[in-house]
Structure 1
Amino acid sequence: MPQDVTVAYLGPPASYSHQAALGAFDTEEHTFIPQTTIGDIFTSVQTGATTYGVVPFENSTNGNVVFTLDLFRDRSSGYHVVGETYLTVHHSLVSSASDLTGLTRLYSHPQAFGQCEHWLNSTLKGIERIDVSSTSRAAQLVRDEPGSAAIASAAAAEVNGLKVLARNIEDTPDNTTRFFVLQAAEMRSPMSEEGGKGDKTFVAFSVDHAQPGALADGLKVFKNFGLNLTSIASRPDRKTRWNYVFFVEFEGHEDTQNVKDALEELGTFCAEMRVLGSYVDRQKLAKKPAAAS
């Protein structure tokens, strides 16, 4: 495979997004390109500047990454979700200081703050928190700023020559982030070997809020067609106050007949609907027994 097969991730290097991208793609066959924001990752895929993009979607402790959901809502074309990957996230408090004494500012991504609330409230309560674009960017910023610290990975500390003042400060030891893999709109993930049973599909839709029970009727479609929901979230649609876009993930591939039929019926209850992609269920794949040799 040529070296121009590129993967965009939320940088700088050593971010959790970088680690997720390295875990999802062969490092010898792909070139990894850092982006400043999650929006830049979408743009790089939509414009063809990169072949793939890896974006954080949800965390087991702190829920959905709203920045990503908003981009799925606002960017209506030019990409397709073709995969998912999971990363166990262990946060560290990193700094150029030798201990916690005298720390006045704390930098990190908002998701990282949310994943470390218990530790922060018990150990660094009252210290100013400053949101930045990524945890690795936070580590960069504190490198030359006395009195500051960052929540980042131990890898980011090593890259930036920082000390690790505390390890594993996340609220839950199994703290895991799920990432989506994006590719250009004309590319779609093929069905798994199990005829779609090992796949998931991600859709976005809105309903007529003036129609009583429209959302309930739409969600009932999945039950009627035997499609198990694995995730549901919502964001304001930014067109009408108190109207929402719903994001639903379910088991099955968009190319199977029962999913096609279900989506056709779902469309009758929707003001708008978009299929954002189908991809292999990595959790289900990980649980499959290894083939006998």
Structure 2
Amino acid sequence: MSSQDIYHLRKQIESVDEEVLRLLERRVDLAKKVGEVKGDASVYDPSREMEIIERLCNLTKELDPKFVSLLFREIISFCRAVQKPIKVACMGPKGSFSHEAVVSFLGRFVDVVFVENPAEVFDHVSKEKAGIGVVPVENTTEGTVYSTLDAFATAEQSISVIGEGQLPIRLALASEEKTMADIEEVYSHPQPFGQCRNWLHKNLPWARQIPTSSTSYAAKIAKTKKKSAAICGRLAAELYGLNILDEGIEDHPYNATRFWLIGRAFARSSERCKTSILFNVAHKPGTLFQALEPLYKAGLNLTLIQSRPLPGNPFEYFFFVDFEGDVGEEKVKEALAAMRSRVERLRVLGSYPQIKFIK
């Protein structure tokens, strides 16, 4: 192929790029009009966004569906921001896995507010300092995040779960140094040290392990301290400009955290819908069985049941339950109505879609 042939091909690419740009501008303009029609209504509709991306992934014949998913996640994120900027609260600092979850579920065109704990996320949503909150609920290796459940138990009634997504937790060794041979100290949160124990013993047996408050704070230290490294996520490494010396260093290959997206309105029904409820029963034999029996009779699949101490009532508990189904379904309505007659208190925390994008 001659240089002249390459020149002509590049001119065609430039022409296609300009056409793509014009189409994107048209899409943004249409998104603005949709926003005007919506008025004060929420601009975030996770079910609709998943429908768009899944349809496009199924339509493509030449492109990698993962590329299509990532591309349109950001296009949708930008168009959403054009309609109405969204402020999202999550646990920080920047580069945390909660921050990574925000980017994964909502894209990069959101204003992120970093707070210390799940209770503060709920507080920001409650006081309308943020339109959406993202909180961890459960990890495959560490189990339930009790601080999130406790915060929900005391949150105001208007707050509900509007979406759920899973984030694979992939840990990386990141540093300003170029090789692992130069590393003398490794910083991270205690949990990742435990999750990478075998890898560290094999690859960095000489390095001192120094615990920090978070993986993202470890990345911040590694940025400024010579001969040091951090065990953190890819986002934290990118934000602090670190070299990734190795990735996927966790000892167990499947490590994921389930996150809830919370807001002040119920989510629209979808095919992949789950419902979360909170209830407590009288402190008598058989009351928990009686409370759950309507869900069993309705054929609803339970995906989580977790007890937590009931404040002010020693050795009594309230229960969180997740099950597959939507509160709009007749069998779910009937089951919840039967439950209400058997419990002391029942609150529906939300019926919401499970956000599943191609990773």
TM-score category by the smaller chain? 0.7 to 0.9
How far is the alpha carbon of 1:190 from its aligned partner? Answer: 1.6
Letter in 2 for 1:205: F
Q: Residue type of the partner of 1:263?
A: L
SS of the aligned residue for 1:281 comes to: strand
1:27 aligned onto 2:108 = yes
Distance in 2 between residues matched to 1:69 and 1:282, nearest whole Å? 20
The alpha-carbon deviation at position 226 of structure 1 amounts to 1.4
- Compare relative contact order (CA 8 Å, sep 6+) and give the higher one, 1 or 2: 1
- Mapped pair 1:16 → 2:97: yes
Structure 2: distance between partners of 1:27 and 1:137: 21
Q: Quick check: 1:109–1:138 contact (8 Å CA) kept in 2?
A: no
Pairing 1:65–2:65 present: no
Per-residue deviation at 1:113?
Answer: 5.0
Tell me the equivalent position of 1:167.
247
Partner of 2:290: 217
Matches within 5 A, 1:120-199: 130=211, 132=213, 134-144=214-224, 150-164=230-244, 166-184=246-264, 187-192=265-270, 194=271, 198-199=272-273
Report percent identity of matched pairs.
35
Q: Deviations over 1:95-114 (max 9, x none)?
A: 557648643x743174x456
Which has the greater radius of gyration? Answer: 2
Residues 190, 154 of structure 1: CA spacing in aligned structure 2 closer, same or farther, 3 A cutoff?
A: closer
1:260 equivalent in alignment to 2:333: yes
In the alignment, what sits opposite 2:83? 2
**Higher normalized strand content (fraction of residues):** 1
The whole-number CA distance in structure 2 between the counterparts of 1:238 and 1:123 is 47
Report if the CA contact (8 A) 1:108-1:150 is conserved. Answer: no
Aligned-partner residue type, residue 155 of structure 1: L
1:111-158 CA distances to partner (integer Å, 9 max, x unpaired)? x456445546777899666462x4223322454457865431133123
For residues 315 and 230 of structure 2, the distance between their equivalents in structure 1, rounded to whole angstroms, comes to 36
Q: Is residue 282 of structure 2 the alignment partner of residue 208 of structure 1?
A: yes
CA distance in 1, matches of 2:219, 2:329: 46
> Residues 58 and 127 from structure 1, CA distance in 2 versus in 1: closer, same or farther, beyond 3 angstroms?
farther
Contiguous gaps of at least 5 residues in structure 2:
1-81
CA gap 1:131/1:234 in 2 versus in 1, 3 angstroms: farther
How do 1:29-44 residues align onto structure 2 when only pairs under 5 Å count?
30-44=110-124
Q: Is the 8 A contact 1:221 1:262 kept in 2?
A: yes
SS in 2 for 1:269: coil
1:290 corresponds to: none
In 2: Cα distance, 1:224 partner to 1:118 partner? 46
Q: What one-letter code is carried by the residue in structure 1 that aligns with 2:349?
A: L
- The answer to whether the Cα contact below 8 Å between 2:126 and 2:156 also exists between their aligned partners in 1 is no
Whether the 8 Å CA contact 2:134–2:261 is kept in 1: the answer is yes
Whether the 8 Å contact between 1:227 and 1:250 is mirrored in structure 2 is: yes
Alpha-carbon deviation of 1:169? 2.3
**Deviation for aligned residue 1:26:** 4.2
2:172 counterpart of 1:108: no
Q: Distance in 2 between matches of 1:116 and 1:148?
A: 17
**Structure 1: distance between partners of 2:102 and 2:86:** 13
**Superposed displacement of residue 43, structure 1:** 1.4
Q: Is the 8 A contact 1:62 1:115 kept in 2?
A: no
Structure 1 residues 119 and 225: alpha-carbon distance in aligned structure 2, compared to 1, 3 A threshold? same
- Asked if 2 retains the 8 angstrom alpha-carbon contact of 1:52 and 1:181, the reply is yes
1:180, distance to aligned residue in structure 2 (A): 0.7
- Cα deviation 1:239-288 (Å, max 9, x = unaligned): 223222211100111232322221122223323221111101345x98xx
1:234 to 290, 304, 307: 307
